[in-house]
Amino acid sequence: MKEPILIYERGCPNCRGPITDLRLGAGLVCSRCLEEAEGKQNILRLLKENDKIQNLEKVYNCEKKLEEFEKFFERITGFKLWSLQKSWAKRVFLGRSFAIVAPTGVGKTTFGLVLSAFYDGKVLIVVPTRMLGKQCEKKLNDFLKNSQISRKVLFYESKASVKRKFEEGDFDILIGTNAFLQKNFEKIIKIDFRLIFIDDVDSFLKRSKNIDNLFHLLQFKEEEIKLALKPQKTEKDWEELDRIRKKERKKILLLSSATLVPKSSRISLFRNLLGFDIQKAVTTLRNVEDFEIRVKDFEEAKRKSVEIIKKLGSGGLVFVSSLGGRKEAEEVIEFYKKEGIKAVLYEDMKLEEFKKGKNEVAVGISLITNPLVRGIDLPSVIKYAIFLEPPLFRIPLSEEISIREMFFLLTSLYPLMEEKEKTQADITYLRKYLNLREEYLEKYPRVKERVEKIKRELTSLFKNEEFLRKINATPDISLLHQEGKLFIVLGDASTYIQATGRTSRLVGNRLTLGVAFLFYTNPKYFNSLRKRLLSFFREQEIEFKEYRKEILGELKERLEEDRIYAKKVLEEKIVPEEREFLRTTLVIVESPSKAKTIASFFGKPQTRIIGESLFYEIPLEDRILSITASLGHIYDLVTHKGFFGVLVNERFVPVYDTIKICPAHKVQHTDINYFPPECRENLRDKLQIIESLSEAAFQFDEVYICTDPDAEGEKIAYDLYLSLRFFSPSIKRAEFHEVTPQSFRKALREAREINLNLVKAQLVRRISDRWVGFALSQKLWEVFDRNTLSAGRVQTPVLGWIIENYHKLKEKKARIDCEISGYRLTLELEDTKLAYQVFKELENAEIEEREEKEEVINPQPPYTTDAILKDSPFSATKTMSLLQELFEKGLITYHRTDSTRVSFAGQNVAQRYIEEKFGAEWVEKRSYFSEGAHECIRPTRPQDPDSVRLALNTGMLELEEPFNALKLYEMIFRRFIASQMKPARVKYKVVKIKLPFFQKEVSIPMKILEEGFFRIKPYLKVLREVKDFKIKPLKIYFIAKEPPFTQGTLIMRMKERGLGRPSTYAQIINTLLERGYVVEKKGKLFPTPLGIKVYNYLSRRYSQFIDEEFTRKLEEEMDKIERAEIPYQQVLKRVYWIKKIV
């Protein structure tokens, strides 16, 4: 028989009483609510029958309504509800208003109409046109014939009989246009509509008056509407809006649209009062195969494009460069006509003719404003895009340059600029005024003065021949002389993404295949485009393949298959068995930042609020994805039960409760009585997050818990899994070690069950920390009469090292800085008296030349947590915070790792960068194999610091502390790329320093024979060839034999001695500083008198618990628990011995 691992104090989903993890894992409620039962439906029924239903009553009512609705839907349509439509129905029956997020062809209107027919009470349907209104009326009446339900449908039009019925309220479902609502609002507001369905809502939202009327119809008060629209809200305002939004409402609003592009500023009402955004969830998903084709000239590009068009047939878009413009486009059309291809200029294009294939290709210009780039949406027709030249934009190097052009110029030229700080300041300044038109500059004299100054400096720079030579030497920035002027030419990434996006659209449950062919004669143009795609569209992994004409046949078949499918969906001719429609997926991560980053990989998400949680929703090819955050741990160990939160009988069973937080004092605890009375009213209880996530989980087909990939993340995942288990039968654990689209998708594909061994190991860590920490801390409070003191099984031994090191600081050794023919080196001597003599006589020392030797220098392995904390210029806490953000923004892999392992994916990232930057001959892949699931800390993409800076400067990437984060990123990037490069080979000259009483051999680097990884990470300076070696002493100084610890060297010691883990290193040092046991002076750590007193007391009385061997053994045992090698209860039993001292 299985035994419970832990108890959740308020974990029962029904009564919020205590419950074991076993019962929650089985999808049960607590035994006080219901002793035994199986299956959610059965449990809900029995709870209702026994009059014990509490929190689950909403779920019970919703399930009952859904069951009725499913039967109703199938009876009147002949189809079963798809999972996506079930999700919408659940939202409605839970009393939630919302806007439908879904691609074309998934039955939004049908759902709204059937729901209207089914819904109790009067229903209002609003449509943009009379024709649509009549169609809705006919469909509804057809549905109702099959429903065996009597519902009166009235479409309002100017007929006396219709007007009379409207006046008398002789209808159940009223259908009207936007204009009808405006004209008759005073009468409509008197009718108690329970459901309002607005189909094709875009035209409705164009008028602010419509939005105001709608919220009055939903019975919001005037003062509530004013508060929601208030420009600058106080904290109290937001709290009041939160209260208004959470109120139970009898009226439901359902909005549906294919585009959802609102214009009115009053759309904030939807978010502030109803908890959802009114905006289209714009997907940037692309299923495009990109091919590069280098040609000798434009004529060859045209000839080869004919080959492609003739093979792939109609449905093509052809683009000429903006540098060639309309004239070049017309020349291409004439060329195609001679080759027998029907081509049309973008200006002359007629959509219906193009759809029927009367024109095979349309020719446009590679400009973001060109109609073919972003104004055309024909998913059943457009298959491929051909760029006869890369999309480009040019910037004049003259006084005609605009603010926007100056901004793009500075961001691109930043790596070449000498005064980088000033350039960065100029970029930041110009970015604020990108949308300011030149003619309005006169109104802002200070802005004009600064802009003019930047313009003068740039113009002066463009006259500098040396700087122009620098530009010419770059691999990706081109100079162009045209029309008697000088321009800089850059790749236009936005145009490429938008134009190729026309070939691949999300229709039904499929992202149609598209193909793009990119011709180029100038490699610089191609390199510039590729670099800007990498910087500006980080979510788009665009890899250009080499083109071969043999692939065209296979591509054509796949392209045609997808167009047939798209046509069926759009014409609603797809048969039921082909409707493998979108499922709904909820993903839970730890932080809102990570949730937003993941959602942005796939486009611009729509947001909605459920209770305390914000959800980002976006359609993917096969699912509607909703991403939210748990905000870290939900539960923690209580303090008031058993032995410091652990019930002890024959087994040890910890008791957990939700974490409560006092926002004002930033204090958290599980026990409400821990907080002073003034805090208790404003506490934030993470139980509210559980309630929000439970409601969301109930609405979705599947839940993936994507907390961090370590034991801590596994425990959070287990808590969430158990909390949501009753509400969702399909919950999986997914983990990724880097926040990228590929890793995210892979994690969902390879999702697994919760690893209970990891959970048990984390429980042992938490309980042992609690037992040792609480027991020893309480002794300190008694002895020192200060309840702010603490002890711990890791922090106290580490404090001992600092104290031991401090006592050794009086032991000194000498260092002598000197030069041998200009090469600086340091001599280190233990004997300080001898060192002083050597320093005095060093100038007279003989330098004896000995042999020459060659050495191979291998690069360092990539960073681990301890290594980067040692090298970082910031404190351990700040470094971990910066690394966390770099990870969450998708720039680096998971940063809590003690492994140097490089995955195949990581090796490929380095290979791509090295081959493009230096050439294939510089690559030497290394895996640095080490045990463990994690790999090293590395960049996730072949994106150098300049590319990241470009993304930051242009607003494509945002970081809290960009300057500091970029410093760390550069360290990680250079060390990682170096680790995958050839070793360096260096020639050394061995010389001997000779004095009568002292001799020392040193090796001096004379020549770099093979540069290897020095190209990315310079390692040493070499001495020029010299005929006669001479030595010159510079200075002598005395240092401690064991220097004081820095935060970095202390962390290295912790790793060497096996104390702590990558996730706890920084926290341990921070605790020692906060408790006042240690101070930091000029980056060095020293114990305080208090720290020494505390340590001495603990080491005298309780040495067995602060001994590093005790902690090291415990860490080893926790590793064994993770591997299922020893029972976790056995380890807890050994640690429980500490109770004897309490």
Q: Is residue 1094 a contact partner of residue 784, using CB atoms and an 8 Å limit?
A: yes
Least confident range from 605-614, 901-910, 934-943, 1023-1032: namely 1023-1032
In angstroms, rounded to a whole number, what is the distance separating the alpha carbons of residues 910 and 944? 11
User: Would you state the structure tokens that stand for residue 547, as one six-digit string?
Assistant: 């083109």
CATH topology of domain 812-858+985-1040: EV matrix protein fold (2.60.510)
User: How far is 669 from 53, CA to CA, in rounded Å?
Assistant: 30
- pLDDT per residue as tens digits for the range 544-570: 999 998 999 999 999 999 999 888 877
Tokens of 616: 């980002």
**Hey, what are 313's tokens?**
């047939």
**pLDDT(496) > 90:** yes
Q: Where does 273-377 have alpha helices with state H?
A: 298-312, 325-338, 351-355, 371-374
Q: How is domain 288-391+492-570 classified at the architecture level of CATH?
A: 3-Layer(aba) Sandwich (3.40)
pLDDT over threshold 70, residue 1138: yes
On the question of pLDDT at 509 being above 80, the answer is no
**What whole-number distance in Å separates Cα of residue 840 and Cα of residue 850?**
25
CA 358 to chain centre: 45
What is the average per-residue pLDDT within 837-847? 93
The answer to whether residues 610 and 144 touch, using CB atoms and an 8 Å cutoff, is no
Determine contact, residues 20/4, Cβ cutoff 8 Å: yes
Burial label, 936 (beta-carbon count in 10 A; 0-12, 13-18, 19+): buried
Q: Which residues are catalytic?
A: 894
Alpha-carbon span 875 to 61, nearest angstrom? 54
The answer to whether 920 touches 975, Cβ cutoff 8 Å, is no
Within its chain, how far is the Cα of 783 from the centroid? 48
Residue 356 identity (one-letter amino acid): K
Length of the chain: 1142
Average pLDDT on 10-30 reads: 96
User: What's the N-to-C CA distance of the chain in angstroms?
Assistant: 34
pLDDT at 103 over 80: no
What percent of the chain is modeled with pLDDT above 90?
A: 62
- What phi and psi values does residue 1043 have, to the nearest 5 degrees? -65, 155
Residue 184: predicted pLDDT: 92
- Strand segments, DSSP code E, in 455-566 are 478-482, 485-491, 506-507, 510-511, 514-520, 545-546
The answer to whether residue 283 scores a pLDDT higher than 90 is: no
Q: pLDDT tens for residues 649-694? A: 989 999 999 999 998 888 899 998 888 888 888 889 999 999 999 9
Amino acid at residue number 406? M
Q: What is the pLDDT of residue 494?
A: 87
CB 559 within 8 A of CB 504: no
Provide the 8-state DSSP code for 544. Answer: P
Sheet holding 392-396, edge to edge: 392-396, 485-491, 478-482
pLDDT digits (tens, 9 = 90+) for 386-429: 999 999 989 888 878 888 889 988 988 888 888 888 888 898 89
Distances (CA, A) of 670 to 595, 638, 764, 1089: 26, 6, 19, 33
Position 931 scores a pLDDT of 62
Q: Tell me what the pLDDT averaged over the chain comes to.
A: 90
Q: Which residue has the tokens 């030349």?
A: 849
**Would you place residue 726 in the very low, low, confident or very high pLDDT band (cuts 50, 70, 90)?**
very high
Q: What are the backbone angles phi and psi of residue 860, rounded to the nearest 5°?
A: -70, 155
CATH match for 758-809+1044-1141 among 3.40.30.10, 3.40.718.10, 1.10.460.10, 3.40.50.1820: 1.10.460.10
Higher-scoring residue by pLDDT: 723, 934: 723
Strands 7-8 and 19-20 come out as antiparallel
Q: Is the dihedral of CA 126, 130, 132, 138 positive or negative?
A: positive
State the fold for domain 59-280. Rossmann fold (3.40.50)
Give 577's pLDDT tier (boundaries 50, 70, 90).
Answer: very low
Beta-strand pair 193-199/252-256: parallel
**Nearest to 917, CA basis, from 925, 909, 905:** 909
Q: Which residues of 112-142 are buried (b: 16+ CB within 10 A; e: fewer)?
A: bbbbbbbbeebbbbbbbeeebbebbbebbee
Alpha-carbon span 747 to 709, nearest angstrom = 11
Q: How confident is the model at residue 145 (pLDDT cuts 50, 70, 90)?
A: confident
Report d(CA 630, CA 595) in Å as an integer.
10
Please give the distance of CA 764 from its chain centroid, rounded to a whole number: 31
Mean pLDDT, rounded, for 160-164: 90
Q: How many CB atoms lie within 10 A of CB 327?
A: 9
Per residue in 170-198, pLDDT (tens digit) is 999 999 998 898 899 999 999 999 999 99
Which whole-number Å values give the CA distances from 533 to 410, 489, 1059, in the listed order?
18, 15, 44
Please state the rounded mean pLDDT for residues 462-466. 88
pLDDT at 1024: 77
In this predicted structure, what is the pLDDT of residue 377? Answer: 83
CATH topology of domain 865-982: Topoisomerase I; domain 4 (1.10.290)
Q: What are phi and psi of 73, to 5 degrees?
A: -60, -45
Q: How far, in Å, are 457, 802, 868, 1078 from residue 1046 at the CA level?
A: 44, 10, 13, 12
Contacts of 1068 by beta carbon, 8 Å cutoff, 6+ apart: 792, 794, 795, 798, 1054, 1060
Q: Measured between alpha carbons, how far is 476 from 412 in angstroms, rounded to an integer?
A: 10
Please give the share of the chain, as a percent, with pLDDT higher than 70.
96
Burial 783-807 (b: 16+ CB within 10 A, else e): eeeeeebbbbbbbbbbbbbbbebbe
Model confidence band, residue 578 (pLDDT cutoffs 50, 70, 90): very low
1062 close to 867: Cβ distance less than 8 angstroms: no
Cα–Cα dist 116/125, whole Å: 8
- pLDDT reading at 24 higher than 50: yes
Number of H helices, E strands in the chain: 44, 42
Cβ neighbors of 813 (< 8 A, separation 6 or more) are 828, 829, 830, 832, 835, 1038, 1039, 1040, 1041
Whether 59-280 shares its CATH topology with 288-391+492-570 is answered: yes
Q: Where are the domains of the chain?
A: 9-55, 59-280, 288-391+492-570, 394-491, 758-809+1044-1141, 812-858+985-1040, 865-982
pTM: 0.86
Q: How does residue 625 score in pLDDT terms, banded at 50, 70 and 90? A: very high
Q: How much is the pLDDT for 273?
A: 93
Contacts (Cβ under 8 Å, ≥6 apart) of 990: 849, 850, 851, 852, 853, 1001, 1002, 1003, 1004
Tokens 């540098």 correspond to 323
d(CA 892, CA 910): 13
Task: Name the pLDDT band for 576 (thresholds 50, 70, 90).
Answer: very low
Task: Give the pLDDT confidence score for residue 100 in this predicted structure.
Answer: 84
Helix 465-473 and helix 445-462: axis angle, to 10°? 80
Return the percent helix, strand and coil in the chain, to nearest 5: 45, 20, 35
Least confident span in 349-358, 636-645, 1036-1045: 349-358
Ranges of H-type helices in 729-875: 741-749, 756-784, 795-807, 832-841, 865-871
Question: What span, in angstroms and rounded, lies between the C-alpha atoms of 380 and 572?
Answer: 13
Q: In this structure, what token pair is assigned to residue 168?
A: 């008398």
Backbone angles phi, psi at 28, to 5 degrees: -105, 170
If you average pLDDT over each of 9-23, 371-385, 570-584, 1025-1039, which comes out highest?
9-23
Residue 1015 pLDDT > 70: yes
What per-residue confidence (pLDDT) applies to 791?
93
Q: Token pair 């470009």 is at which residue?
A: 950
- Return the pLDDT at 951: 82
Interval 249-267 mean pLDDT: 77
Pairing of strands 514-520, 288-294: parallel
- Give the strands of the sheet with 984-995, arranged side by side: 846-857, 984-995, 998-1010
